[in-house]
Amino acid sequence: MHPLPSDKPTASVKPEITISSASGFCFGVVYAVEVAEAYLAEHPYLYCLGDIVHNDEEVRRLQAKGLRIISHADLPRLSGETVLIRAHGEPPETYAMALQHGIRLLDASCPVVLKLQNRIREIDRPEVQLLLLGTVGHPEVVGLLGQIQQAEVFVVSTPEEVAALPLDPNRPTYLFSQTTKAPALFEAVVKALQARVPHAIIADTLCRQVSNREPKLFEFARSQDVVIFVAGRKSSNGKALFSICQAANPRSYYISSPEEIQWAWLEGAQRIGIAGATSTPQWLMEKVKAHIEAHFESVVQ
């Protein structure tokens, strides 16, 4: 993200390199990967509906073990096969299609997401105005929208969008959120909605395992000279957490693989921190650490 020269840094002392404890897979992703690996240990292949995680390096690792990424359009031709549902969850239509075509589902939907889906179904009535803070097209959001059959629904991403909605203050109004959104953004959207509909019911559906990482990550980034943030380019959570690092430490750099590191970034650094998203595997952060260590070893020698 910062086009600097790629010369190796000069150093007489090897820096201290630390991986943030507030980084790496959340429990939902851990479970999905474990389900996939357990199945692949006994079968030659497994279909997965979409990328199992928004990290290309981890997807490639699992593809080498037999994971096959498919789309919803592929389901009709997979009669008799087994398909993994990833942590993001799916709409009811996916389960119906699987039943129709005789597909066995391995459901690794995150329990936090499933609870949110259930809460949305419970208030799905024609008179309801439902606001969902989320990213349009994100798989979790697609799964959540699939639960709604009757309510009027608005997907929003900023407080400004809430201010512009054609809301009726006299109708029952609910606010839910994609589980991985930032708490500060959620609070801003809450204030914007309450200014329009004071009686709106606010459902805080953020995943605390994700949101609780933010203050820890901020302190970690502030304690380092440089932060190397490792995440997939498609990771919404990665972009959000990287912004936390940048706010704490302007010398924060986003990479998706070790080869993207530009050594001039590390010039003069004695404390180098490595952090990642909830979709970043621990092994990839360890690989980045080893890559940096190897280069400093050669510089010092």
Cβ contact 255:289 at 8 Å: no
Closest by Cα among 216, 245, 212 to 231: 245
Kindly report, residue by residue over 170-191, the tens digit of the pLDDT: 999 999 999 999 899 999 999 9
pLDDT digits (tens, 9 = 90+) for 80-137: 999 999 999 999 999 999 999 999 999 999 999 999 999 999 999 999 999 999 999 9
- pLDDT tens digit sequence for 10-57: 445 789 999 999 999 999 999 999 999 999 999 999 999 999 999 999
Q: With CA atoms as reference, report the closest residue to 129 among 75, 180, 97, 170.
A: 170
**Is 1 a residue whose pLDDT tops 90?**
no
What's the pLDDT tens digit per position in 243-289? 999 999 999 999 999 999 999 999 999 999 999 999 999 999 999 99
**Does residue 93 have an active-site annotation?**
no
Q: What is the pLDDT of residues 141-172, one digit of tens each?
A: 999 999 999 999 999 999 999 999 999 999 99
Q: Show Cβ contacts of residue 173 under 8 Å, excluding neighbours closer than 6 positions.
A: 128, 129, 130, 131, 167, 193, 197, 199, 200, 201
pLDDT reported for residue 13: 75
Does the pLDDT of residue 66 top 60, yes or no? Answer: yes
Q: Provide the pLDDT confidence category of residue 4 given band limits of 50, 70 and 90.
A: very low
pLDDT of residue 11: 46
Q: Which domains does the chain have, with CATH numbers?
A: 16-25+210-300 (3.40.1010.20), 27-110 (3.40.50.11270), 112-206 (3.40.1010.20)
pLDDT at 3: 43
* Cα–Cα distance for residue pair 39/34, rounded to 1 Å: 9
Catalytic-role residue among 58, 81, 140, 214? 140
Q: Is the pLDDT of residue 5 over 80?
A: no
**pLDDT surpasses 90 at 207:** yes
Instruction: Give 234's pLDDT tier (boundaries 50, 70, 90).
Output: confident
What values do phi and psi take at 272, rounded to 5?
Answer: -115, 120
Contacts of 210 by beta carbon, 8 Å cutoff, 6+ apart: 26, 179, 180, 237, 278
